[in-house]
Structure 1
């Protein structure tokens, strides 16, 4: 089997990226990336993974990066023998830089990749991944990787552990209300107060043109409310589908994720 190959390309630097002296540190000293070939499951699905190893003090971001940062973008469209690739995100960590909240990973993160295939033969996974790697400031980085995936490979324990580290599905009724607010809208989500004490939340919408700020949590009368402002392109209220609202609650012991919400 071929070893996973990787090439790191520095993209055009954005306004908050590192200055030239800081870039003297070789990117290979900041981040190492590889595709873990994984194994073929009995149902024909192939489990592989992207592994990122970061130097001390550096981090990368979750699919919702927080108040700043770069959400990762995955493109596996050039793969051979692959129909679809689902990227699975392990539960991230919450950190703060000044008054800015970041949601992401440090040291090492493994993103499991669930592949549906065109056939049962060996396949080639080819990916281009765009991420931000950050310390005090950020560098946008493009990773080009490829590896062959064998139908006979053994189960990878690290990928199994990463699959088990995702947020758990939330249960119980969850309602949401939209109302006009400065620069857009306010979203308030109500759910039964969980037994665990959650201290952070993230709200994602299926419209990438909308930006959601750090939600506020309040627990009272047996309920938990999660409130956030949504900035819209026009600064005016607009239609948002309740089915496209994803709410993730974070506690030191793990995270819980709710998909969709109903009208109050």
Structure 2
């Protein structure tokens, strides 16, 4: 079912109607927003769920799950749409740990028009999972007309500040201080030292390209200003599949987030 564009005015951001599914609702928003001092047009995929329900990050975690999928085919005057992911959280589930968002999430989408002087008609087909005790596949089809002079969106600027990036804000964002591959026990493990000003809430996630599974890091120790995480590289993964490939390490805490790329040699 297609949710059409709502009325818009030049002075502010725009939004589609809500598409209402089973225990979730979704819509598109759009506006001018800023990240790292750069202003551009962003859309937002806005998902809302009842209390206690959750949806997944791009890497759902050890207990399985459905990562969101975004299809922008059918859009007009769209050169590219790049989905960004706000910092997720580790969620303890009956089946194990998953990574995602509880109750609501807004995924920002960087919009590049083919012709910046004309409106973009953004047509999105979305597939995602919503879960409480069981996981339910969900989908929505949404459409929004984004005028070239669309107004500023404080909501999108706010969520962009929660997207992990390479730039680390001193005193705010946690960071990957050091890392190494430990083979001393005969079983290889990746050891991550995360520097954080909010140490109790520090967490880490590791992703490999091509959908190669990487187990969730386990917190094993705390040092002065650092949390130590270990990834068992014998648990459902062959280290040979990871060597020479860029691994994305995302670290979060209660104050901020950051992202680093490492390569196992």
Interval of TM-score (by shorter of Structure 1 and Structure 2): 0.7 to 0.9
Conservation of the 8 A alpha-carbon contact between 2:62 and 2:96 = yes
Identify the residue that residue 260 of structure 2 maps to in structure 1: 258
Q: Name the counterpart of 1:100.
A: 96
2:207 corresponds to 1:204: yes
SS in 2 for 1:212: coil
| Match for residue 127 of structure 1 among 114, 124, 128 | 124
TM-score, normalised relative to structure 2: 0.76
Equivalent positions of 1:38-49 (< 5 A) are 38-39=31-32, 45-49=40-44
For residues 1-264 of structure 1, what are the structure 2 equivalents within 5 Å? 2-3=5-6, 4=16, 27-28=21-22, 30-39=23-32, 45-68=40-63, 69-98=65-94, 100-120=96-116, 121-167=118-164, 169=166, 174-177=178-181, 186-191=188-193, 193-197=195-199, 199-208=202-211, 210-217=212-219, 218-219=221-222, 225-230=228-233, 236-242=238-244, 244-261=246-263, 263=265
Q: Partner of 2:155: helix, strand, or coil?
A: helix
- Structure 1 unaligned residues grouped into runs of 5+: 9-26
**Structure 2 contact 194–202 (Cα < 8 Å) conserved:** no
TM-score (norm 1): 0.76
Paired position in structure 2 for 1:13: none
Q: Is the 8 A contact 1:199 1:250 kept in 2?
A: yes
Q: RMSD of the alignment, in Å? A: 3.4
Query: Equivalents in 2 of 1:46, 1:134: separation in Å?
Result: 31
Deviation at 1:154, TM superposition (A): 0.8
Gaps of 5+ in 2: 7-15, 169-174
Q: How many residues of Structure 1 are paired with residues of Structure 2 in the alignment? A: 240
Contact kept, 8 Å, 2:189 with 2:231, in 1: the verdict is yes
Cα distance change of structure 1 residues 40 and 106 upon mapping to structure 2, 3 Å threshold: closer
1-side partners of 2:242 and 2:45: how far apart?
Answer: 32
How far residue 195 of structure 1 moved from its aligned partner, in angstroms, is 4.7
> Does the aligned pair in 1 maintain the 2:177–2:195 contact within 8 Å?
no
